[in-house]
A and B are shown apart, each in its own frame.
Chain A
Amino acid sequence: MINKFRYLIFLTLTTNSLFPYLILLFLMSLVISFGMLSYYSGLFSAEALRAEGIDNLLGGGFVDTFWWSLKHVLDPGALSENYGAPVGVIIFALLNSMMGLALTGGLIGLIVNSIQNALESAKQGISIIDEEGHLIILGWNRKAPSLIKQFFLLNTPQRVVILSGSSPQHVQTILKAEGVDQKNKKILVLTGLTTSAAVLDRIGVSKAAHIIILAEGQGLKDSYSDVNTINSLMVIESKLTAQTKVNVVAEIVNAERLGIANIASPSPLVCTSLLMSRTMVQCARNPGYARVYSKLFSSAEIGFELFSCVNLEGSLFADACPMITNATVIGVSWVKKLDDGSLKRVTVLNPEPDYDLAKDDQLVVINRRNSTVRFDPDQKVALKGNLRQLLDRPKISDILIFSSSPNLSAIINELGLNSSSQITVTVACRNATDIVLSLDENIALNGGARRSLPESITIVPMEFDLDRRWSLEQFDLSDYDSIFVLADESVSNVDADSSTAMIMLLLEDVSRKGGVVPPIVVELLDSKTKDVLKHSTIIDSVISTEFVSAILLQVATNPFLESIYSELINAGGIEMGFRPLDNYNMLGKSMGYSDYLSHAFAVNELIIGYQLGDGPDAEIILNPDRSTFPSLNSRDRLIVLAQQLYT
């Protein structure tokens, strides 16, 4: 019986938050009733009424007795006011005050506890978020601070809500360390399951403007990060209706899981391993590519817009381009009706110059952010017909790759896709032979299908271990067309970027001693390591997590960019290229922007900017100002969109 009563108390205490207060109220009533017994020990006798704290203003009945007792329960100081009262009254006052002290202490404790719980909940980020049009970041990894910084560069008033498994204190510490100003910015850091429907409801997923799902965990080494991402995608999908306008973009780490993720949600996906590997290969093919790409997708400078072609119906694409006077046209876009009746936005970069624009076409332009596109129908370019150019396309046939990054197989596969001739890849890392043997099993294509390494690729393992030997003597670097230094997280006690920096020092040493070092493409995990390497004279391109965050943010704020960014790094289709002026037979001639544009159209290329000088510090200008277009020289390059030709 006692046990049952105890269990009942336990059950009520744990399931009903009001119950402790009810018990306290009950006990207080008992104590007050007990104190009221003092009436029978002469509470309102003439002797007692001489005491300061005893009054019979209402006739010395029930109310006066209740008031006297209540006063002693709630205020222990009331005891001293009974000085001079009969002993019996003083004893009741004493007992009442003591029991009141205990009860008041309990009440204060309960109130303090409730306040503490509320504060703790807020600190732990378990509050309900009443926001609309906010940016939600689900998950936490090293791309998040960079992503938030870039978002704030857009100067939007939207609040950023971060929900992850990490504690808010941890997240806030990292944000502070990464220089994210949290005081003047609207950042809410919450903790919780990113796959829980209830938690996602709490942060208002259906009312958000953009949702970015980051892969939580240890990247490619952690298979659960993608599982959680896909789960979150499914939950979010179930919350969205046809009326909700939320742009969702998810980071998928492993290309193998893209297929499943695509089934889970129609939202755009950014696959980190594919993005990194493809970009690195494009950087090797076109040195300087990463800087153009970063600039193109950097949130602060350039925005992508669609410009209606209603007034341009029937005009050729090449005729329409110069009519946009302050922005650069990079393609056309329209909405296509699919076989199942649904609509899909289609974007095509660098269409043929003779493409005749339709009423429903829109021009895709890059423009300075917050600048209105200007249109002048009188601007024209003299077209030079269709010429064929035989370019000296980048040829990469011997590649040296340092490290055994999980991206290794994706990079080798991408090298194969970008080349039609035989290529040799030397993989230099610890246990190189075993790693090369396992590579064939690790190739996964976009969409999840597995395949073997292309036959055109020969892979040579080369043992290289910084633990044993700090030297590159075994390599004849002049044999290679390009070197990749990948972030290697395989050694748990060494930071990947530290290993990369060490390899860069060794390569720098070779260069200083007069050795030939081919162009180097470096992958960094922490964008701050870029500063450490900025004095290196031999690095050609650096890709870091900053780059991935820029893409994620751009796609989240403008979903149609997904097809643009993937087209630009895919093998085949349209690519970005750097063209010397003599390529168009323009060197030494006095040319303006329209002349360059017209020469480029003649070879089916589209100018999007230029590079002044060469080397890693060369200045890159995208969407150039027509009126101040400089006279370019032999070291400068035009940056164009062109059909990729294989080598």
Chain B
Amino acid sequence: MKKILIVEDNEMNRDMLSRRLLRKGYEVKIAVDGAEGLRFMQEYQPDVVLMDMGLPVKDGWTATAEAKADPNLRSIPIIALTAHALEADKVRALEAGADDFDTKPVNLASLLEKIEAF
């Protein structure tokens, strides 16, 4: 099963998402901000990263851009998750280097499709 790194600062959101993915059989690791997310990407080498965009310390856009600029991390697919429902936010996430985009609250079936696509 795929190893998934969830980078999310909101405790309830990460508890729920990790529980749902664990129950689907995924291996899940959690980071609470962008800087920790980058560190865990190096250490854990996940198959997919679910990256919230509005993060403390280092936001998701910056963390995504830095990951995509790092030769060791650039191949790891990043799915941007955001509560910003506007089209501009999707464009911004994709411009930062995210491989796909989804809005919160997540639709699990749709998210799983995106995860499995990588």
Contact = CB atoms under 8 A, between A and B. Distances in A.
A573 B54 CA distance: 11
B55 to A, nearest CB: 10
- Scoring B10, B12, B108 by chain A CB atoms within 10 A of each residue's CB, the highest score goes to B12
A642 to B, nearest CB: 9
Interface string B74-118: 000000000111000000000000000001111111000000000
| Interface secondary structure of A, over-half rule | loop
A358 B54 CA distance: 30
Given A572-B9, A572-B83, A645-B84, A348 B16 contact: yes
Nearest to B86: A390
A422 to B, nearest CB: 15
Given A355-B108, A567-B10, A604-B105, 10 more contacts: A352-B105, A352-B106, A354-B109, A567-B11, A573-B11, A643-B83, A645-B83, A645-B84, A645-B85, A646-B54
A563 B12 contact: yes
A12 to B, nearest CB: 63
Nearest to B106: A352
A336 interface: yes
Contact of B54 (A420, A445, A604): A420
Contact of B10 (A445, A570, A646): A570
Contacts of A296: none
Contacts of B10: 567, 570, 572-573
B70 interface: no
B39 interface: no
Interface in A600-647: 604, 643-646
Nearest to A603: B105
Given A420-B84, A643-B83, A645-B83, A574 B54 contact: no
Given A572-B10, A643-B83, A386 B15 contact: no
Q: Which 8 A-B pairs have the closest CB atoms?
A: A573-B10, A348-B16, A604-B105, A348-B12, A346-B15, A643-B105, A645-B83, A352-B105
B52 to A, nearest CB: 9
Report, as a range, how many residues of chain A touch the other chain. Answer: 20 to 34
Contact of B16 (A355, A570, A572, A604): A355
Given A386-B107, A643-B104, A347 B12 contact: yes
A351 B16 contact: yes
B23 to A, nearest CB: 7
A573 B12 contact: yes
Contacts of A420: 54, 84
Interface residues of B, number: 22
Contacts of A352: 16, 105-108
Interface of B: 9-13, 15-16, 19-20, 23, 54, 56, 83-85, 103-109
Contact of B83 (A348, A350, A570, A646): A646
Nearest to B18: A336
A468 interface: no
A333 to B, nearest CB: 10
Contact of A390 (B9, B11, B85): B85
A401 B116 CA distance: 50
B1 to A, nearest CB: 18
Given A352-B107, A354-B108, A354-B109, A574 B12 contact: yes
Contacts of B107: 352, 354, 386
B54 A349 contact: no
B29 to A, nearest CB: 11
A319 to B, nearest CB: 15
A603 to B, nearest CB: 10
A346 B9 CA distance: 15
